[in-house]
Chains A and B, each alone.
Chain A
Amino acid sequence: MSAVQTHPARVIVAKVGLDGHDRGVKVVARALRDAGFEVIYTGLRQTPEMVVDAALQEDAQAIGLSIHSGAHMTLFPAVVEELKRRKATDIVVFGGGIIPDDDIATLKNQGVEKIFTPGTPLQDIVEWLRNRLPERSPAR
């Protein structure tokens, strides 16, 4: 039996805004790869438009954002808005970084499904994504 899944789930991980702290997003990217996902890291200084456009071109199922600059209350909702505008609300938005608990509740109401706070084990992120992303079945 082939060890390779034929339909790995595809995830975009990105840093939106001016923040350049990429240690976390790179560690998460590696962990997702090791867990069998296809990961596309779009780099630093992305705008919400760039991230969503990439997600559409790449037919990604999820977008993970990493924000340490405090600008999460502006940038996360902007990504969710852009997904609405491009009619791609089936793409799951999740993220991590320096985000206080109160803000997490607000962001969830705005369409961000999950925020992983500092210290979250990588395995938790992997498990959550695995459970959340639907089976990529061949027949639509």
Chain B
Amino acid sequence: MVERRDRSVRNLEDALRDRLRQPGVVGFTGAPGTGKSTLVDGLVAHLRAEQTSVAVLATDPNSPFTGGAILGDRIRMQRHALDAGVFIRSMGARGHLGGLSLATRESIRLLGAFGFDEVIVETVGVGQSELEVASVADTTVVVLTPNLGDGIQMIKAGILEIADIFVVNKSDLDGHARVVTELRSMLNLAGPGASLRGGSGPSWKPPIVATVASRQEGVAEVWNAVLAHRRHLQESGLAGKLAAQRMKDETADVAAELARERARRALDEDPTLAGRLLDEGLPYRTAEEILRRGPIMGSER
């Protein structure tokens, strides 16, 4: 329902407002093949051993041409099938530029309302999805592996800026030590707390955790790092600020999405408007007119 932007979601949220707990939200991102799903699977096992309930929102990209997708994260978490304390939802990114579906934030709130202690958001690191993850998660974990081919220099700069924690998975492979060293020196060069979209401030130095997720090695250390980061956010007063920023970001994104849909609808359904646009060739004027007009009766959710 949330994914389909169903109107009743808002009613549901209003009804649940009193029960809206804030679950802890941890985001995982990284290139395909880094073993994120395996790592998340291991974390779920770790959390369940401590009786913590957890929901996983895993996003895979939809084909930009057909709109279809094979959502392949659930199959990596088979051991949690039928565990009532684990909820797994595979989401397609559905053309959202950032790679995370718009529904994610609302889903997180609802999952908290339904009693999940932790929400793990997992995305594949293509496009700008790292930034998106950072905007919904309290803690953002970036997953790398030793066989990076061209080396760590090729990693997008954005990753260094949004990572609260680095995980070097498959650390049993050759090249592990080199990745860690390169990462460390890049972090030092970038200076403390370089950028701040979701950043944790100057006093947080992102730890680098080595894991072999397929053997459940290092998984507990990853979670400890998450908890340490959370404590940092509380103690530094950043938690509140970031939550406020996220709320504003989300609102702006939703407004943008509503406006976009309104525009598409107007252009599809109003031939006069579309005709004028094509004659005059003035997209900005047309866009402002659409926004000025307001919603088409009954069309907006």
Contacts and interface: CB of A to CB of B under 8 A. Distances in A.
Given a CB threshold of 8 Å, the question of whether A touches B is answered with yes
Interface of A: 1-8, 29-30, 32-43, 46, 49-50, 53-54, 57-59, 136, 138-140
B89 A38 contact: no
A58 B81 contact: no
Given A49-B82, A50-B81, A50-B82, A29 B7 contact: no
Given A33-B63, A50-B81, A4 B74 contact: no
A133 to B, nearest CB: 13
A35 B72 CA distance: 17
Interface string B71-97: 110110010011000011110101100
A139 B7 contact: yes
B70 interface: yes
Nearest to A3: B65
B3, B70, B82, B268, most chain A CB atoms within 10 A: B70
Question: Interface of chain B, helix or strand or loop or mixed?
Answer: loop
Contacts of B63: 33-34, 36
A37 B68 contact: yes
A58 B78 CA distance: 14
Question: Interface of chain A, helix or strand or loop or mixed?
Answer: loop
Given A4-B95, A140-B1, A36 B67 contact: yes
Contacts of B75: 40-43
Given A4-B95, A8-B92, A140-B8, A58 B74 contact: yes
Interface of B: 1, 3-8, 62-72, 74-75, 78, 81-82, 87-90, 92, 94-95, 264, 268, 301
B70 A8 contact: no
B70 A57 contact: no
B7 A2 contact: no
Nearest to A9: B68
A8, A34, A35, A37, most chain B CB atoms within 10 A: A8
B4 A4 contact: no
Contact of A58 (B69, B90, B301): B90
B6 A138 contact: yes
A136 to B, nearest CB: 6
A35 to B, nearest CB: 6
A57 B88 contact: yes
